[in-house]
Amino acid sequence: MIRIKDEEFNFLVDYLKKHFGINLASKRVLLEGRLGGYLLQNGHSTYASYIDMLKKDSSGKELTNLLNRVTTNHTYFMRESEHFDFFSKQVLPMLERTVNNRDLRIWCAASSTGEEPYTLAMLLHDHFGNKKPPWDKTLLATDISNKVLDHAKEGIYSAESIEKIPDHWKKKYFTKLKSGEAQVVPDIRKQVVFRIFNLMDPIKFKEPFHTIFCRNVMIYFDAPTKAALVERMYDAMRPGGYLFVGHTESVARPTRFQYVMPSVYQKQGQ
């Protein structure tokens, strides 16, 4: 394995934090493990050679490759299922009562390989699918990795990855493939719009959101980066909207969000 020098490690840590907010200052072994083989495969015998190439790459392609190598995209259907129960039983009935134009604005801000946004799309379809006149149930799903978004758009998952999905959902929302895998049905795939988005960028979407899921991504951010992101999400949300973060995450005080339950917060007002 290629060993990384202190100055090279510090450069990559600062570079990733500057561009993506990801803080790997305590992850030296992880960084070496994820990048060592990749450097050799691409003709680099030292980190200095790789960093020089990274600095000269004006296309941004290598920055994306670096991101794809060092980030972990561990997710699965029905992860932290208490959130989906609350969303289904509390949030959706509230939205049905209060959203007069029937245009739902839901954002999955760290969508990874698609399991979370597709779960939300199925919940939305269950609740609003037969309502007349129809509701706009399209939801936005973003990630910084084009690699995971390409996977998500296909909507193809192994039999093991959909094990925890209720049987009626498997029959209704998935098609079995000859490979033994299962694919999300077209109606649900069309309901999710996947886009590349860096959470360090200003949040400037057309309309504010009724709900934001931003789960299990802020664990990579330091406290100031996390606090600034939470404030940007607050400003991008409608009064009464909900923010869901991961079970191991929390919104630090002081914050304009009101605590609802562990890892669930609400913007006050109507």
Residue 263 has pLDDT above 90, yes or no: yes
Q: Matching CATH topology for 6-70 and 81-266?
A: no
What confidence score (pLDDT) does residue 72 get?
A: 65
Q: Which helix (H) or strand (E) holds 98?
A: helix 92-98
Reduced DSSP (H G I as helix, E B as strand, rest coil) percent helix, strand, coil of the chain, to 5: 45, 15, 40
What's the pLDDT band for 220 if we cut at 50, 70, 90? confident
8 A C-beta contact, residue 185 and residue 216: no
Tell me the CA end-to-end span of the chain in Å, nearest whole number: 57
C-alpha span between 154 and 148 (Å, rounded): 10
**What CA dihedral angle connects 144, 147, 150 and 151, to 10 degrees?**
-110
Quickly name the fold that domain 81-266 has: Rossmann fold (3.40.50)
Residue with tokens 């959130």: 83
What's the pLDDT band for 34 if we cut at 50, 70, 90? confident
Q: What's the token pair of residue 119?
A: 């779960």
Bridge-based pairing of strands 264-266 and 174-176 is unpaired
pLDDT tens digit sequence for 121-159: 999 999 998 888 899 999 999 998 888 899 999 999 998
What confidence score (pLDDT) does residue 75 get?
A: 66
Residue 42 has pLDDT above 70, yes or no: yes
What's the pLDDT band for 74 if we cut at 50, 70, 90? low
What confidence score (pLDDT) does residue 129 get?
A: 86
Residue 115: CA count within 13 A, CB half-sphere: 21
Number of H helices, E strands in the chain: 11, 10
What confidence score (pLDDT) does residue 76 get?
A: 66
Average pLDDT value for residue range 40-58: 89
Task: Return the CATH number of 6-70, one of 3.30.300, 1.10.1060, 1.10.3470, 1.10.155.
Answer: 1.10.155
Residue 3 has pLDDT above 90, yes or no: no
What confidence score (pLDDT) does residue 27 get?
A: 85
Burial of 99 (0-12, 13-18, 19+ CB in 10 A): middle
Q: Which of 257, 242, 246, 235 is nearest to 210 (CA)?
A: 242
Q: What's the token pair of residue 76?
A: 């699965």
What's the pLDDT band for 213 if we cut at 50, 70, 90? very high
What confidence score (pLDDT) does residue 61 get?
A: 81
Using a pLDDT cut of 90, give the percent of the chain over it: 59
What confidence score (pLDDT) does residue 132 get?
A: 85
Domain boundaries, the chain: 6-70, 81-266
Average pLDDT value for residue range 220-225: 87
pTM: predicted TM-score of the whole model, two decimal places: 0.84
Average pLDDT value for residue range 165-173: 93
8 A C-beta contact, residue 218 and residue 229: yes
Using a pLDDT cut of 70, give the percent of the chain over it: 98
